[in-house]
Structure 1
């Protein structure tokens, strides 16, 4: 039955379909995708949020699929929902077939027309330079019709652009354990203490948080997720930080470090060129350490075009490769 639903959907894309048949198969496939998301989140509410639909709409999709299959896929428990025995048996196959259908759909779309159009990407300084050069090279060789627009900003601004629809794709950081909705992780790292090599703190291999007490530092201007997280962690440990400078760009912070000996707290990759040239040095922050995760997400304010999907795929490949 599952395979029949998906085969029917594929056949509809290869010929001019009857409108009623198209609606029916589309509803069935939507039900399968909804079931996958509910199984992944263990909750209708969380799954609905991740898909950008109402919980009642999601429930109707799953109920319609269960009616068509003649079997229940989920049962409720105190913490949400779990797959029934039937659901557990078929879910791996459903996931595989949906992935196959989406790949088929992408292939059909790509063969109908050369990818073209404008794609706007918001990125953080940590990845902007490496990503821009690699991404432009790939697009020029594979999809020269795509016009790329890249905007650099700190994470909070990138997330605002995603929410408003100003960018199609955003790459941003989160700190600690907070997982953003609608986003996929790209890479993980650790926040470091960064400054000029002659600073006395860099005699240590790792730098405990409490030794930063009252030492002048530069941080990204608030509101900023890194600055907010660092200040929160400091307050939780009774540490008073002396933020002598808040700056709107990492280049301003770098100039301040080189000119006045200020330190900053940041992923080392943000200043990788200056560190490799021995202008700056980095030591891991510890006791407590601060973990950083880089995420990629797409705007929910408008449909994602085929060109945007291609750019998103390339970004993931480039940044995954850079961490290997």
Structure 2
């Protein structure tokens, strides 16, 4: 039995789908299926039931899962303890952020860790929150900035940043809808052709909840989970979308686009700093969290990002860096 097999089993169990687990693991689905079959043959039991909507663990699979979780955590803790024996940040961290936040502070964080903490190998990845949540639950990502997602027993979330949501569209159409103002009532988007991210994203859930309270049914023309195609469709006049301010910042001054802040009610999106509970929180991870808060505060102060930062004056931010 190999450690790799155990981690693949965990990914499959948490994702409930071989295809999703293969995507998280970064391997082909047939190879993942063979690995799970080999593990089942070695154990002499069936670990999963296959059904039309995916897979779920058998009773033996659930028992096996409960047995290996403490072992995997202990192995991760041993690795962490050895790497941090000198009392300085060390080890590997895979950290995910939304593309807008990565563009604002990602490079600076990587530069600081490269310079100050040479024993830390930091892997920075971009991803929309719906996907990052799956990566966190599967243990593929150690830390992430995500929107205020559904609670998970495998993820710890701390408040980080709250941003406004805006209606985003072609400039002429936006100015026609809301001339000589920077705001638009949320109920006014009823009847507009909308291009939105899918329902597995926190932004979409915030919007759907607000529409339900207002008794409004949106006219959703398409769901697009990629920012570049979404902006392209808006540019070509296929509809409007709703996005956080950080995503729109690169388009300020672009004559193709216009935007208005949604009010009455004001719509916001809260970003959280999330930690995978598939592994212990290390000194390096705590230092990364501190650096993220510091750099985010700087980005808000100098206008690279617009929002309200949570818990800036905290022990984590005030504590001195490791040397």
* TM-score calculated relative to the size of structure 2: 0.60
Q: Specify whether residues 269 and 117 from structure 1 end up closer, same or farther in structure 2 by C-alpha distance, changes over 3 A only.
A: same
Q: Is the 8 A contact 1:217 1:262 kept in 2?
A: yes
Q: Unaligned 5+ residue runs, structure 2?
A: 1-82, 302-323
Q: 2:107 aligned with 1:146, yes or no?
A: no
- 1:269 alignment partner in structure 2: 246
Q: Is the 8 A contact 2:167 2:241 kept in 1?
A: yes
Runs of 4+ in structure 1 off by over 6 angstroms are 178-181
Shift of 1:126: 3.2
Secondary structure at the residue paired with 1:245? strand
Trace 1:147-296 onto structure 2 (pairs within 5 A): 147-174=121-148, 182-199=156-173, 200-203=176-179, 204-296=181-273
Q: Specify whether residues 116 and 182 from structure 1 end up closer, same or farther in structure 2 by C-alpha distance, changes over 3 A only.
A: closer
Q: Is the 8 A contact 2:105 2:299 kept in 1?
A: no
Q: From 121, 127, 134, give the equivalent of 2:108.
A: 134
Q: Kindly indicate which of the two structures has a greater share of residues assigned to helix.
A: 1
Point out the structure with max Rg over C-alpha.
1
Rounded Cα–Cα distance in structure 1 between residues aligned with 2:195 and 2:91: 40
Q: Unaligned 5+ residue runs, structure 1?
A: 1-108
Equivalent pairs, count:
214
Shift of 1:160: 2.6
Secondary structure at the residue paired with 2:166? strand
Rounded Cα–Cα distance in structure 2 between residues aligned with 1:276 and 1:306: 42
Deviations 1:10-51, CA, capped at 9 Å, x for gaps: xxxxxxxxxxxxxxxxxxxxxxxxxxxxxxxxxxxxxxxxxx
* TM-score calculated relative to the size of structure 1: 0.60
Deviations 1:178-222, CA, capped at 9 Å, x for gaps: 888732222222111112211122424311122211211111122
Secondary structure at the residue paired with 2:182? coil
